[in-house]
């Protein structure tokens, strides 16, 4: 049985030297390690009929295609030194058909509030049948909440739902103190996390669109008063859009239009990157999953990198890509991006659509799931629903059941991935791992290899001498099993992405007659 309870063992991935030690900001790894110079002049290659010109395929190193925020550690949201924190009273809403139990959802909201820098001083909930148009909750509950907020000296009431602008206005007036909803909190966290230009634009757009219909005089007045030095306005009104609160709606709308245009430019740029990546033929593997599942920890383990990973919701916002070498020598681009959450705000999904839809470009998804979380099932369903919404539900997927180091077997010890696979009768595409301890990395890498190999074409070819560029191309893009220098040329047997197969069609292996 595999044991690594104390983390003393070297992580498997680094022990067996399978991972690439380079990352974006260190020495560039040379993609063209087989024979870089032989294929730079791609225009000289013979071009088979009906095959896109190789001259369009850029073969320069991938360094500039590997993107991500350059700061290792983002600024912390919760400035401990700044006092006092705003005191929050949380209100859960239970409705038939909800995926999460009301208390579980409140637990999550509490974590979100802590991440946003609020001090939670109380929580309550109401099961509602038909939502009240003005207050969402019943009028009796509104009175109860007013009293509770007064007794607890709360500065803010936080609803575990996205409230309509009318409900926000009515409730705010009823309570006389600041009112936030789940969406406001999530947007606030995103605002403090965005690092890249695109990320900042997207968050600002989502915030403006969310706030515009909610701008009230009371709100603006209160947001000027609160905050205690944590940035004008405090939680929920912080971020790139906060100055916009002071200007009139018309200029806010103009700003929205401007942001949309800017984002379009950024997206055109991103599209170019995408096309170049595709042309490179290096498979893209995307980490997806619920927030805090361990995606960044897994990226760090596999790519030996130092991406920010923390026990907080939405630690990662901007996508980061790192190069990883598989045991069979093949290189992949591994992408880590924003985590999902139940009731992901609509504005946010829209603003981040282009980032989120990157999963559609991936050759393979690794769905990282916190196997030990009490809501693992609900979280998995949420992720599946978001993937479906993005149109990525049919992508090949491996489910990495993470944090198994926290799982205890009958005898109280850590259970190996193999034993867990047996115990839970896990299907082929599931693999139990511990990203933090490096357990199950071999198995995961083997599954990634197998899944990607399914996309490759078997090729057997005899390349005449003088066409070395085709040999080099095979080395770079494919996976060689046999290479022999024969009398008339180089014999190659292996697998290659389908788009490169036609280049070898002109050079079949002569069959002995």
Ligand X SMILES: Nc1nc2c(ncn2[C@@H]2O[C@H](COP(=O)(O)OP(=O)(O)OP(=O)(O)O)[C@@H](O)[C@H]2O)c(=O)[nH]1
Query: By the criterion CB under 6 A, which residues form the site for ligand X?
Result: 289, 291-297, 309-311, 313-316, 339, 402-403, 405-406, 434-437
C-beta of 115 vs 421, nearer to Mg ion: 115
Measured at the alpha carbon of residue 385, what is the angle toward residues 296 and 298, in degrees to the nearest 5? 15
Q: What are phi and psi of 110, to 5 degrees?
A: -60, -40
Instruction: Give the separation between CA 186 and CA 199, rounded to whole angstroms.
Output: 14
Query: Which one of Mg ion, ligand X, none interacts with residue 443, CB within 5 to 8 A by kind?
Result: none
Token pair for 148? 């509770």
Count of residues interacting with Mg ion (CB under 5 A): 4
CB of 193 to ligand X, least distance (A): 9
Query: Which one of ligand X, Mg ion, none interacts with residue 406, CB within 5 to 8 A by kind?
Result: ligand X
Instruction: Give the separation between CA 429 and CA 32, rounded to whole angstroms.
Output: 32
Instruction: Give the separation between CA 406 and CA 242, rounded to whole angstroms.
Output: 41
C-beta of 29 vs 313, nearer to ligand X: 313
CA dihedral 36, 37, 38, 39 (to 10 degrees): 70
CB of 439 to ligand X, least distance (A): 7
From 72-80, 162-170, 312-320, 467-475, span contacting Mg ion (CB under 5 A): 312-320
| Contact criterion met (CB below 8 Å) for 193 and 170 | no
C-beta of 62 vs 315, nearer to ligand X: 315
CB of 393 to ligand X, least distance (A): 20
Query: Which one of ligand X, Mg ion, none interacts with residue 12, CB within 5 to 8 A by kind?
Result: none
CB of 447 to Mg ion, least distance (A): 21
Q: Which of 349, 308, 314, 310 is nearest to 112 (CA)?
A: 314
Token pair for 123? 């929580």
From 34-42, 198-206, 292-300, 437-445, span contacting Mg ion (CB under 5 A): 292-300
Which distant-in-sequence residues (6+ apart) come within 8 Å of 303 by Cβ? 19, 20, 23, 322, 323, 324, 334
Run of H or E residues at 444: helix 441-453
What string of DSSP letters covers 217-251? HHHHHHHHH--TTSSTT-TTS-STTGGGGGS-HHH
402 binds Mg ion (CB under 5 A): no
338 binds Mg ion (CB under 5 A): no
In the bound complex, which residue of the shown chain has the CB atom lying closest to Mg ion? 316
C-beta of 183 vs 305, nearer to ligand X: 305
355 binds Mg ion (CB under 5 A): no
- Total residues found in the chain within this entry: 513
313 binds Mg ion (CB under 5 A): no
C-beta of 164 vs 406, nearer to ligand X: 406
Token pair for 51? 């095959």
CB of 283 to ligand X, least distance (A): 21
CB of 219 to ligand X, least distance (A): 29
CB of 315 to Mg ion, least distance (A): 5
Q: Which long-range contacts (CB under 8 A, 24 or more apart) does 52-57 make?
A: 52/499, 54/473, 54/503, 56/279, 57/279, 57/280, 57/281
CB atoms within 10 A of CB 273: 15
C-beta of 54 vs 338, nearer to ligand X: 338
315 binds Mg ion (CB under 5 A): yes
316 binds Mg ion (CB under 5 A): yes
Bridge partner residues of 290 (DSSP):
340
Token pair for 297? 């920890």
C-beta of 186 vs 315, nearer to ligand X: 315
Query: Which one of ligand X, Mg ion, none interacts with residue 314, CB within 5 to 8 A by kind?
Result: ligand X
In the bound complex, which residue of the shown chain has the CB atom lying closest to ligand X? 339
CB of 143 to Mg ion, least distance (A): 42
Bridge partner residues of 431 (DSSP):
400
Binder of Mg ion out of 296, 320, 321, 379 (CB under 5 A): 296
C-beta of 126 vs 312, nearer to Mg ion: 312
The footprint of Mg ion (CB under 5 A) covers 295-296, 315-316
């Amino acid at each position: 049985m595999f044991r690594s309870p104390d983390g003393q063992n070297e992580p498997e991935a680094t022990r067996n030297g399978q991972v690439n030690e380079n990352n974006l900001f260190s020495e560039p790894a040379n993609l063209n390690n087989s024979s870089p110079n032989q294929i730079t002049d791609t225009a000289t290659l013979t071009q088979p009929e009906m095959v896109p010109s190789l001259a369009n395929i850029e073969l320069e190193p991938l360094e500039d295609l590997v993107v991500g925020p350059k700061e290792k550690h983002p600024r912390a949201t919760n400035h401990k030194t700044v006092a006092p924190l705003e005191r929050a009273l949380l209100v859960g809403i239970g409705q038939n058909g909800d995926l999460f139990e009301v208390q579980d959802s409140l637990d999550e909201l509490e974590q979100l509030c802590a991440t946003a820098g609020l001090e939670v001083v109380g929580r309550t909930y109401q099961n509602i049948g038909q939502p009240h148009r003005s207050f969402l909750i019943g009028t009796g509950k509104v009175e109860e909440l007013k009293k509770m907020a007064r007794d607890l000296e709360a500065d803010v009431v936080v609803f575990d739902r996205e409230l309509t602008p009318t409900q926000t206005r009515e409730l705010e007036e009823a309570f006389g103190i600041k009112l936030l909803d789940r969406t406001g909190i999530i947007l606030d966290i995103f605002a403090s996390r965005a690092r890249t230009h695109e990320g900042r634009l997207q968050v600002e757009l989502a915030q403006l669109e969310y706030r515009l219909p909610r701008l009230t005089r009371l709100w603006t007045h209160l947001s000027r008063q609160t905050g205690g030095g944590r940035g004008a306005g405090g939680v929920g009104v912080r971020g790139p859009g906060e100055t916009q609160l002071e200007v009139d709606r018309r200029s806010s709308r103009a700003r929205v239009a401007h942001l949309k245009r800017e984002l379009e430019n950024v997206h055109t740029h991103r599209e170019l990157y995408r096309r170049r990546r595709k042309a490179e033929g290096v498979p893209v593997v995307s980490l997806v999953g619920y927030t805090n599942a361990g995606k960044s920890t897994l990226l760090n383990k596999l790519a030996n990198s130092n991406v920010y990973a923390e026990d907080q919701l939405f630690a990662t916002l901007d996508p980061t890509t790192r190069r990883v070498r598989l045991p069979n020598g093949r290189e992949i681009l591994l992408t880590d991006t924003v985590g999902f959450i139940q009731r992901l705000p609509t504005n946010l999904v829209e603003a981040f659509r282009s980032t989120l839809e990157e999963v559609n470009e991936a050759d393979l998804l690794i769905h990282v799931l916190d196997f030990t979380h009490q809501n693992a099932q609900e979280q998995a369903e949420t992720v599946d629903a978001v993937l479906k919404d993005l149109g990525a539900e049919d992508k090949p997927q491996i489910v990495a059941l993470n944090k198994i180091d926290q799982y205890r077997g009958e005898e109280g010890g850590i259970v190996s991935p193999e034993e867990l696979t047996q115990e839970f009768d896990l299907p082929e595409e599931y693999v139990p791992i511990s990203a933090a301890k490096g357990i199950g990395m071999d198995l995961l890498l083997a599954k990634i290899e197998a899944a990607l190999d399914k996309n490759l074409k078997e090729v057997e070819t005899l390349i005449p001498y003088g066409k070395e560029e085709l040999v080099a191309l095979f080395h770079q893009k494919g996976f060689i099993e046999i290479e022999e220098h024969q009398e008339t040329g180089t014999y190659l047997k292996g697998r290659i992405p389908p788009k490169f197969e036609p280049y070898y069609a002109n050079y079949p292996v002569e069959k002995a007659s």
